[in-house]
Amino acid sequence: MKRPEVEAKMTDLLVDELGIDRDKINMGARFEEDLEVDSLGVVELLMALEDTFGVSIPDEEAESIGTVGQAVDVVMQKLEG
Amino acid sequence: MSRRVVVTGLGTVNPLGHDVDSFWSAALAGRSGVGRITAFDPSGMRATIAAEVPDFDPEQYIERKEARRLDRYDQFFWASTHQALADAGIHYEEDDPAALRAGVVVGSGIGGMISFQEGIDTMRQRGPDRVSPLAITQIISNMAAGLVSIRYHLYGPNSCVVTACAASANAIGDAAEIIKRNAADVMVAGGGEAPVCEFALAGFSQARALSTRNDDPAHASRPFDLDRDGFVMGEGAATLILEEREHALGRGAKIYAEVAGYGMSADGYHVTLPRPGGGGAARAMQNALDDAGIRPTGIDYINAHGTSTQANDSTETAAIKTVFGDYAHEVPVSSTKSMTGHLLGGAGALESLVCILAIRDGVVPPTINYETPDPACDLDYVPNEARAVAVKTAMTNSFGFGGHNVSLVFTAHS
């Protein structure tokens, strides 16, 4: 999967699974500050990433995810790794 | 001087309407809200009917991002509370000191049952790592009270009553007492239920509590009729804004009625069946009358628990006769569950709302589907058509599995 495709799927997932407004989402958007994703929402996000991309993201690695772009980075690493 | 409690706001979402006005006109028209279940395919269930809230759109009240995180029960109570606060003209900013004196008591029989069922399904089918992080917050009954306190800045007493089908009647009574003992000036009080899922339907069916008149849904809920065969599950919520009387007068609020009496008792008899003869129910009614300082003949209308089960309706009739004596045959008694189905934990609040509107408008809603008299149910059940009655005082009864009996008395405000 190429990066633009992962980014597009990530955006759809944030809209469909977390109910975030599409126009607020960009790769620099911060989950907590910009998208108002709380601690429970972060767990939902991880579950959705795992289901959508077929990857497994341990909580330790998830801690490095602050922005939408960083979530894409983690997924890309998993897919390429 | 003792503090008095009045009702200054109403809200509801239920099978007959998405707001107070549409509900009330449907109830006075004698419309049934019962139909074949649409939430899931009920084929193979003993009971395939329910009173559902059609086309409910939570996003009318709740931002989409938030609404998707909530159980349907929470959405209902949020909606009815939004309406009630608006009706009362009450709005607190986050830093408003008055918000410290405003609280919530919610009642629900089983809370987020649909979420409970979905969570168990997910765990069994996909494993524990796929259970939603929101599963617990969606299931617990008290969350509705927490949610509205967060959204509407209500920082006073906040709690939840879980007494099955008496829950929201208890919530209103308890909230009134919180105001009376000067722990709050304003209380959001009510409750709701969203039980229409396979598990709850199966459970109540197996307890042989539900009507199986599946081929004729609109006539399935028939309280006090000889051919009644169980209750019909309903869903929805109702909220009352309770307010200390001087507080309400001071801000020029519209006052619907006074919460005049609250009575409770326990049957202490059986998990589902009422005590034969209705002694427990009778004591709750008498306690409410005593609390209100009203004689039985001072009650102008009784909104019965009237579930349409064999046991409840004959026992409640006996209990009314115990308390009201000869006057039992004069006072109009109706069961709006004939139209709304049984909202379980939400029923007491919705039926309190009915009493208050009866006082406001001088009309009592009917018991529909009343066709064949039962010798064990021989009161005036306001059969099939609403009736103009000058209602100055009204009583509502709510009885729950476990033997919880609650009666509330509302009076016209003077």
pLDDT level of residue A59 (50, 70, 90 thresholds): confident
Cβ contact, residue pair B65, A36, below 8 Å:
yes
Residue B326, class by beta-carbon neighbours within 10 Å (0-12 exposed, 13-18 middle, 19+ buried)? Answer: exposed
A8 touches chain B (CB under 8 A): no
Partner-chain contact A19 B64, CB within 8 Å: yes
Determine the length of chain B: 414
- Taking the Cβ of residue B133 and every Cβ of chain A, the question of whether any pair is shorter than 8 Å is answered with yes
**ipTM for the whole predicted complex goes beyond 0.90:** no
Q: What is the chain A residue with the closest CA to B137? A: A40
B90 three-state secondary structure: coil
Under a CB-based contact definition with an 8 Å cutoff, are residues B309 and B231 in contact?
yes
Q: Which positions ≥6 away from B84 have C-beta within 8 Å? A: B9, B10, B11, B188, B190, B239, B240, B241
> Residue B67 and residue A19: Cβ atoms within 8 Å?
yes
Contacts 24+ apart (CB under 8 A), B267-274: B267/B403, B267/B404, B267/B405, B268/B403, B269/B403, B270/B403, B271/B401, B271/B402, B271/B403, B272/B207, B272/B209, B272/B401, B273/B311, B274/B311, B274/B312, B274/B315, B274/B316, B274/B399, B274/B403
* Partner-chain contact B66 A18, CB within 8 Å: no
pLDDT higher than 90, residue A1:
no
Three-class SS of residue B191? strand
Round to whole Å and give the CA distance between B180 and B4.
6
- Tens-place pLDDT, residues B96-119: 999 999 999 999 999 999 999 999
Are B66 and A19 in contact (CB < 8 Å)?
yes
For residue B59, give the chain A residue with the closest CA. A19
From B39's Cα to the closest Cα of chain A, the distance in A is 21
Overall number of domains in chain A: 1
User: Which of B414, B32, B30, B84 lies closest to B220, judged by CA?
Assistant: B32
Nearest partner of B294 among B404, B408, B168, B171, judged by Cα: B408
Other CB atoms within 10 Å distance of the CB of residue A65: 20
Task: State the DSSP string of B203-264.
Answer: HHHHTT-B---TT-GGGT--TTBTT---B-BB-EEEEEEEEEHHHHHHTT----EEEEEEEE
Chain A, residues 56-75, CB within 8 A of chain B, namely none
Q: Which domain holds residue A8?
A: 3-80
Q: Does B130 touch chain A (CB under 8 A)?
A: yes
Distance CA(B85)–CA(B93), nearest Å, equals 13
pLDDT for position B316? 98
Task: Render pLDDT for B33-46 as a digit per residue (tens, 0 to 9).
Answer: 999 999 999 999 99
Burial-class residue B182 by CB neighbours within 10 Å (0-12, 13-18, 19+): exposed
Give the pLDDT score at B392: 98
What is the CATH classification number for the domain harbouring A23? 1.10.1200.10
Q: What pLDDT score was predicted for residue A47?
A: 93
Note whether B129 contacts A: Cβ–Cβ < 8 A: yes
Please report where in the chains the tokens 């983690």 appear, as a residue: A74
A43 in B contact zone (CB under 8 Å): yes
Catalytic residue among B18, B305, B404, B413: B305
Tokens at B412, concatenated? 């016209």
| B215-274 confidence digits (pLDDT tens) | 999 999 999 999 999 999 999 999 999 999 999 999 999 999 999 999 999 999 999 999
Q: Binning pLDDT at 50, 70 and 90, where does residue B1 land? A: low
- Predicted confidence band of residue B68 (pLDDT cuts 50, 70, 90): very high
> Which among B68, B132, B133 has CB closest to A19?
B68
Residues of A classed as catalytic: 38
How far apart CA A6 and CA A9 sit, in angstroms, is 5
Distance CA B324, CA B58 (A): 43
For tokens 């609650």, the residue is B406
Please, which residues bridge with residue B383 across strands? Answer: B367
Task: With beta carbons under 8 A apart, name residues in chain A contacting B65.
Answer: 18-21, 36
Query: Please, which pLDDT band fits residue B145 given cuts at 50, 70 and 90?
Result: very high
Interface touch B134/A36, C-beta < 8 Å: no
Chain B partners within 8 Å of A52 (Cβ): none
Give the pLDDT mean for B339-362: 98
Q: Which of B67, B69, B130 sits opposite A47 (nearest CB)?
A: B130
CB contacts < 8 A, A to B, total: 23
Show the domains of chain B with their CATH numbers: 5-250 (3.40.47.10), 264-411 (3.40.47.10)
Collect all residues with Cβ–Cβ distance below 8 Å to B208 and sequence separation of at least 6.
B230
Spatial CB neighbours of B380, under 8 Å, sequence gap ≥ 6: B329, B330, B331, B332, B333
Is the pLDDT score of B188 beyond 80? yes
Is residue A36 less than 8 Å (CB to CB) from chain B? yes
Q: In this complex, is the C-beta atom of B94 within 8 Å of any C-beta atom belonging to chain A?
A: no
Percentage with pLDDT > 70 across chain B: 100
Q: What pLDDT digit, counting tens, does each position of A5-33 carry?
A: 999 999 999 999 899 999 999 999 999 99
Residue A48 has pLDDT above 70, yes or no: yes
- Residue of A47, A55, A56, A59 for testing the chain B interface, max B β-carbons within 10 Å: A47
Strands B301-303 and B333-334: parallel
Nearest by CB to A19, from B65, B129, B130: name it: B65
Q: Which residues of B touch A44 (CB under 8 A)?
A: 132-134
